[in-house]
Chains A and B, each alone.
Chain A
């Protein structure tokens, strides 16, 4: 039944799988091609077509020229905003999650299972339930419409995932290892630094990729808590398509979309295996 020969039924399997794969790639190919066609060319034909003249200039315009709302600096400032939110929030939530996951799984303290249960509920709680309180908290702390505010939100909310990932990874480390180290006089941080961290790269990669992808792609908080020049790139893309609704610039817009998607796509290309591991790990909870 399971051989690698090319019988007719196996040809059929290949045919179906390849057709579906092509269909899955169509949106990506269409955007890439459009990002290299001039706005006029697209307007004359359709969004689906081969570039007659390569318009590499779209990327330059998208990066630093076109106008969103009143400012004409391209997508660059919003990419920078996204990076300034995503990178610190990913690092903080991963580090704090690793320490907390280590404490819960190996150090054990009173109430650990309770607090673990509550924290991981955050995976399910809809963002809509937290929108108003975050609005009030950000306003009262003066962090409304700041990147710091978004970093704080993503760090605290990200803990639900990072604690889950790390705790589930660390529980498989034998308790004896910790006990032996404690007898030798090593404390909480020393054990973490010397024993746990060197064992952690696989789970840290999964966690970092997961957090980066999710924070970079997040939209609701970005659009609710920031305006104008403070917005992350996802919110800016929506503002852009609203701004050019009258005179569409589909070539430039496609280039902007590609630029915005590039960081997470690249990470997926390089570390796809770890991304999928995060997906399925979140699912099993």
Chain B
């Protein structure tokens, strides 16, 4: 195979009928790229289209306007999912940002064993959310995990039952998500800290700035572009969170920890309401775009400014 390809390209080079000779190379370049691009565009349009049809168990043609959207938006399920997303998204992003930044600053103090510590903070990212969600569901289960352990040790009145508490259950997902992906924020911040201009630090030292002032006035201000990137990526993760909740609470107790991705799955494959499921998926996309479009615009501006400078 490689021999013939090489032969074809070699002999085809000088001739004018290069197009036929270069067919194998056109195919290898274009087929995968076109498949990828075409599936992204057509699948998105397809889902958008289904969201405007009266499809239930199977996709059908027809036009119902925005009816699927209005009925999804009117359900308690979606509204709880959306409120949860706001709470989970902001709490998780803020706390993982703080944790990640704190760990990065501490690791930046030239401490021994930095590589080992960094690997420890990052290992959850290499493990499936199904695995970590299952493990956290055991640890946070009041009859099995931390509460049981502390009670067995003698504190019989100790309570840590957020997993089965409707009002607090969403915080168990926040805990697991912070544990899983603060390391990511740490890695990006650490890279940022290491690339701070050393002249800047020297100048501040000559001015007599102490370590705390140094961080507040000199180093942290240079990190804000990274901060925005971390926020956007963590938000994107929060919006599409599915596996973690599925393994940790499965949306429960009741529907207390419902999130948009679970609503989509539930509508499409458990209730057989394809039109509404598609509408919920498009709503998810819109939430994501509300985060990504401003970010893309900001990146564009940054790049233009960098080119002009």
Contacts and interface: CB of A to CB of B under 8 A. Distances in A.
B198 to A, nearest CB: 11
A285 to B, nearest CB: 10
B161 interface: no
B94 to A, nearest CB: 17
Contact of B247 (A1, A115, A132, A238): A238
A10 interface: yes
Given A27-B179, A130-B39, A189 B2 contact: yes
A165 B123 CA distance: 21
A247 interface: no
Given A48-B149, A121-B40, A250-B138, A265 B121 contact: no
A130 B139 contact: no
A203 interface: no
What is the size category of the interface that chain A forms with chain B?
35 or more
A163 B33 contact: yes
A111 B119 CA distance: 41
A98 to B, nearest CB: 11
A253 B242 CA distance: 21
Contact of B134 (A18, A25, A241, A280): A241
Interface string B281-299: 1101100100010000000
Interface stretch (B60-68, B76-84, B103-111, B301-309): B103-111
A220 interface: yes
A159 interface: yes
A242 to B, nearest CB: 9
Contacts of A195: none
A118 B41 contact: yes
Contacts of A13: 106, 109, 111
A230 interface: no
A31 B144 CA distance: 13
B277 A132 contact: yes
Interface string A110-144: 00000100110110111111111110100000000
Q: Max chain B CB contacts within 10 Å: which of A10, A187, A219, A238?
A: A187
B69 interface: no
Contact of A280 (B117, B187, B247, B264): B187
Interface residues of B, number: 95
Contacts of B126: 213, 264-265, 267-268, 272, 275
Contacts, number: 259
Contact of A189 (B5, B34, B46, B261): B5
A253 B149 CA distance: 19
Given A136-B59, A257-B131, A276 B122 contact: yes
B242 A220 contact: yes
A109 B211 CA distance: 52
Contacts of A10: 109, 111
A156 B264 contact: no
Nearest to B230: A283
B81 to A, nearest CB: 12
Given A4-B110, A30-B139, A264-B126, A118 B37 contact: yes
Q: Max chain A CB contacts within 10 Å: which of B37, B131, B246, B269?
A: B131
29 contacts: A17-B106, A17-B111, A24-B121, A27-B135, A45-B152, A46-B148, A47-B141, A47-B145, A48-B148, A49-B149, A97-B32, A99-B28, A126-B261, A127-B242, A128-B281, A130-B47, A133-B46, A160-B36, A185-B10, A187-B6, A189-B6, A189-B9, A193-B2, A217-B129, A219-B242, A257-B134, A264-B126, A276-B122, A279-B187
Interface of A: 1-4, 10, 13-14, 16-18, 20-21, 24-28, 30-31, 34, 42, 45-49, 96-97, 99-100, 103, 107, 109, 115, 118-119, 121-122, 124-134, 136, 156-157, 159-160, 163, 185, 187-190, 193, 213, 216-220, 224, 234, 237-238, 241, 250, 253, 257, 260-261, 264-265, 267-268, 272, 275-276, 279-280, 283-284
